[in-house]
Amino acid sequence: MNNQPLQAVILAAGESSRFWPLNAKHKSLLKIMGRPLIWYVIDGLRKIGVKDVVVVQGPNRLVEKELKNLPFCIENVQYAIQREPKGMGDAIMSARDHITGQFFVLNAGRIDCQDIAALMLDKSKQSGAKMVLAGQETKNPWLYGVARLEGDKVIEVIEKPEEGKEPSNIKVTGVYLLDNLIFDYLQKTVGSSSRNDEFEVAMSLYAKDHDSRMIILDKDYSSVSLKYPWQLFDARNYLFGKFLTKPEIAKSAWIAKNAVIEGNVVIGENVKIFEGAVVKGPCYIGDNSIIGNNSIVRDRCDLEDGAMVGALCEVGRTIFQPDVHIHSGYFGDSILSSGVRVGAGMITANKRNDREEIAARVKKEKNGVKVPSKVATGMKALGAIIGQDSKIGVRCTVMPARFIGKGCQVGPGAVVMRNVDDGTSVG
């Protein structure tokens, strides 16, 4: 058996509908510290010995187009097409012609894959099993794929079992180490179920015929999941902790003499930081950005290339995708997608008056129709999340955890009390 798999399949073909309003493109193409999230996934796989990666994308090929000019320290990155969004099993089958042996499967947002995959390789080497899954305890097993286990041996995987009939409280996380024989089982299951559990059924059939094992992640291990848009903050925190460990200022940056730069701050090429501005790390400021007079940028801000923060502005714990321009105001615990423009005096409220946990309304499918549903975020501070190319007028206020879609127009002085659908004009 080859104990060091050299291949991986990265799934990036979905519509990222639950990531609205940040889903103008696949969520793995959102950037932190100057690189798309999928770049960190590929680089993490490289560090554990994977040399051949297959990225499964949609027919628009947006992932391939955005990645083709990025440098990868990996021998081979190939692309496969999933023509229609028919589930995970079908997506994996799209890569069949590229896979020759044992391989990893993971979602394109699993930026923490290096940590988990290394443990899975060890388990495969110790046990001789070619299929190894990663699991973790959960209080809500009916919401996940759940494993039936005998010790560390996988007997079965059940997708979203009926509440009260769960085989265990161990959910299967989104990193899989598989034998290429799994394609024979997927061939039998893909298209055979209306429950969208073909992949879990295929793994269960494989486990009946072949030794399959599971590693259990420590209950305190905080895996990075990108199901909802506010979880981009978790990705930022993980990547800042891993890579933003010292200050770094490009030689071409211009910083006024009385500006203050404190802590671990990365400042890119041709950045301008004007008089009286304060940047308190950890923070990342991308190339060609501007921080205006007497503004403060603090506490884990990630401002991607081309950001402009006007004078007299406070930005805290916030993420800007490329080419975001704002003026005076307050932006806390917020995410602004690329091309957003904001007039002077905008305020993003980011806490409830009672300081309790914030819930957000997201779009979910119900009988084939997208309907809003309230979801607990686990956060007590969450501001606005604004989609690509939206325009916000002067002196607007956005209530906590309110989402503004792509291409919206919000008029001057508006108070945004509820989510704004894509392409809508309000105010």
Q: Tell me which residue of 370, 364, 408, 403 sits closest to 388, measured CA to CA.
A: 408
Domain assignment present for residue 80? The answer is: yes
- What pTM does this model have? 0.92
Q: In what order do the strands lie in the sheet with 265-267?
A: 248-249, 265-267, 283-285, 301-303, 319-320, 335-336, 385-386, 403-404
In this predicted model, what pLDDT tens digit does every residue of 10-60 receive, in sequence order? 999 988 888 999 999 999 999 999 999 999 999 999 999 998 999 999 999
User: How many Å apart are CA 122 and CA 252, to the nearest integer?
Assistant: 45
pLDDT of amino acid 247: 97
Whether 233 is in a domain gets the answer no
Mean pLDDT estimate for the chain: 93
Phi, psi (5° rounding) for residue 366?
A: -140, 110
Residue 21, preceding peptide bond in cis (omega within 30° of 0): yes
Single out the residue in 192, 227, 262 at which a domain terminates: 227
Q: Is residue 274 part of a domain?
A: yes
CA dihedral defined by 82, 83, 86, 91, rounded to 10 degrees?
A: -10
Q: Please check whether residue 232 lies inside any domain of the structure.
A: no
What integer pLDDT is reported at residue 40 of this predicted model?
94
Whether residues 182 and 108 share a domain: the answer is: yes
Residues 199, 302: one domain? no
Neighbours of 46 (CB within 10 A): 17
pLDDT of 371: 58
> What's residue 115's pLDDT?
87
- Asked if residue 330 lies in contact with residue 312, where contact means CB atoms within 8 angstroms, the answer is no
* Angle at 382 (CA atoms; ends 379, 374), nearest 5 degrees: 70
> Which residues of the chain have a pLDDT value below 50?
1-4
- Pair 35, 160 in one domain: yes
Residue 275 lies in a domain: yes
Question: 296-298 and 278-280: which strand pairing?
Answer: parallel
Same domain, 258 and 196: no
Distance CA 338, CA 407 (A): 11
- Say how far apart CA 4 and CA 45 lie, in whole Å: 12
Same domain, 316 and 218: no
Helix (H) or strand (E) holding 155: strand 153-159
Cβ atoms of residues 295 and 277 within 8 Å: yes
Tokens 């402009």 sit on residue: 308
Give me the residues paired with residue 145 across strands.
Answer: 159
Are 132 and 215 within one domain? Answer: yes
Peptide bond into 229 cis (omega under 30): no
Q: What's the alpha-carbon Rg for the chain, to the nearest Å? A: 23
In a domain, residue 33? The reply is yes
The amino acid at 13:
A
The residues, ordered by sequence, that sit 6+ positions from 220 with a Cβ below 8 Å of its Cβ are none
Query: Percent of the chain, pLDDT > 70?
Result: 95
Q: Are residues 160 and 247 in the same domain?
A: no
For the chain, the domain total comes to: 2
CB 304 within 8 A of CB 31: yes
Under 8 Å between Cβ of 386 and 22: no
Cα dihedral 51→203→218→125 (10° resolution): -50
Statement to judge: residues 280 and 346 lie in one domain: yes
Give DSSP secondary structure letters for 188-254: HHTTS-SSS-HHHHHHHHHHHHS-EEEEE--TT------SSGGGHHHHHHHHHHHH--S-EE-TT-E
DSSP, res 45: H
Name the domain boundary from 227, 250, 279.
227
- Look up the domain containing 125 and give its range: 7-227
Pairing label, strands 131-137, 31-32: unpaired
**Residue 336 CA neighbour count, 13 Å, CB half:** 32
Same domain, 219 and 243: no
In the prediction, which pLDDT does 1 show?
A: 43
Instruction: Indicate which CATH number applies to the domain containing 49.
Output: 3.90.550.10
- Whether residue 258 sits in one domain with residue 220: no
Closest alpha carbon to 13 in 60, 78, 50, 66: 60
In a domain, 16, yes or no: yes
Is the residue at 381 inside a domain? yes
H/E stretch holding 292: none
Q: Are residues 347 and 419 in the same domain?
A: yes
Residue 331: strand pairing partners: 315
Instruction: Tell me if 138 sits within 8 A of 169, measured CB to CB.
Output: yes
Of 199, 227, 255, the last residue of a domain is 227
267 and 159 within one domain: no
Output the pLDDT for position 74.
Answer: 73
